[in-house]
Amino acid sequence: MTMRVPRHIAIIMDGNGRWAAARGLPRIAGHREGARRVRAVCEESAQLGVEALTLYSFSSENWKRPEDEVTALMELARHHLQLERQMMLANDIRFRRLGRRDGLPAPVLAELDRTEDETSSCRGMTLCLAMNYGSRQEIVDGVRAIAQRVRRGELEPGAIEESTVSAALGTHGLPDPDLLIRTAGERRISNFLLWQISYAEIFVTDVLWPEFTAETLQAAIADFGARRRTYGGLEGPAAAR
């Protein structure tokens, strides 16, 4: 039996700090281990034929964390962008950044831009990295862009539709996520892709992100494949009730 694979998978990567604390290690050790898990998940997703994979790396609220942790996270991001570019090219993965540029350190922005540029001709899976990202901010930015189009006379207010809003978001051109995975047993959306996950199936696992493997991903996809998706309608015997 062929496994039904989501077109777009979004992952809230949680549990790095708890993984480190359980081992008597500093939090950054958990973040380092978590960053190493990204490669296997990207490669497995690409091989399975997933069209888009979006990873929640650093939220707009994460700036509230201790300064030394934020600095270490930014350096970790810069290092892994350099490290994983060859993996992306080898797997025909196109990279896309989500989130506001303002506030990100210049060296991190340079690596984000370089990775987008060097993978721009790839035609396989799209990997979206949400950094300095908040969904409410994304929607506000999209609404502002639409308002500017109206102001310039390019768009009539009455012509604004759901597709107009979708096209103004960072995920424009990609299918909405079919599957949202959250690790470490947390059951919150955490301001992540609020518009895009309207009909996503949600899979919560107690596995901490540094322990997330290709097999964990396969289990989530198998669970997704067993679900009946009706998008608010009725299907099969339920339609007669």
- What domains can be seen in the chain, in order of their start residue? 8-134+176-227 (3.40.1180.10)
Better pLDDT: 237 or 191: 191
3-class SS string, 212-239? CCHHHHHHHHHHHHCCCCCCCCCCHHHH
φ, ψ of residue 180 to 5 degrees: the values are -110, 120
- Predicted pLDDT of residue 241: 34
Better pLDDT: 241 or 217: 217
- Cα three-residue angle 167-172-176, rounded to 5 degrees: 105
Q: What integer is the mean pLDDT of 117-145?
A: 98
What's the alpha-carbon Rg for the chain, to the nearest Å? Answer: 19
Q: Parallel, antiparallel, or unpaired: how do β-strands 94-98 and 201-204 relate?
A: unpaired
Cα distances from 92 to residues 21, 29, 121, in angstroms, run 36, 30, 8
pLDDT band at 3 (very low <50, low <70, confident <90, very high): confident
Q: What integer is the mean pLDDT of 169-182?
A: 98
The mean-pLDDT minimum among 166-175, 182-191, 232-241 falls in: 232-241
Task: Pull the structure tokens for residue 60.
Answer: 């707009």
Q: What integer is the mean pLDDT of 8-15?
A: 98
pLDDT digits (tens, 9 = 90+) for 98-111: 999 999 999 999 99
pLDDT digits (tens, 9 = 90+) for 190-208: 999 999 999 999 999 999 9
- Predicted pLDDT of residue 235: 63
Residue 228 has pLDDT above 90, yes or no: no
User: Order of strands across the sheet with 179-182?
Assistant: 94-98, 126-133, 52-59, 8-12, 179-182, 201-204
Q: How far apart are CA 125 and CA 5, in angstroms?
A: 13
Respond yes or no: is residue 14 known to be catalytic: yes
Contact yes or no for 176/128 (Cβ under 8 A): no
pLDDT digits (tens, 9 = 90+) for 29-51: 999 999 999 999 999 999 999 99
pLDDT digits (tens, 9 = 90+) for 49-95: 999 999 999 999 999 999 999 999 999 999 999 999 999 999 999 99
Average pLDDT, the chain: 95
Respond yes or no: is residue 62 known to be catalytic: yes
Residue 210 has pLDDT above 50, yes or no: yes
What is the helix (H) or strand (E) element at residue 83, kind and residue range? helix 67-90
Torsion of CA 105, 108, 109, 115, to 10 degrees: 180
End-to-end CA distance of the chain: 30
Residue 173 has pLDDT above 90, yes or no: yes
Active-site residue, from 16, 62, 92, 102 = 62
Q: What integer is the mean pLDDT of 117-130?
A: 98
Q: Within a 10 A sphere around the Cβ of 212, how many other Cβ atoms?
A: 24
- Predicted pLDDT of residue 230: 76
* pTM exceeding the 0.85 threshold for the entire prediction: yes
Q: Within a 10 A sphere around the Cβ of 127, how many other Cβ atoms?
A: 26
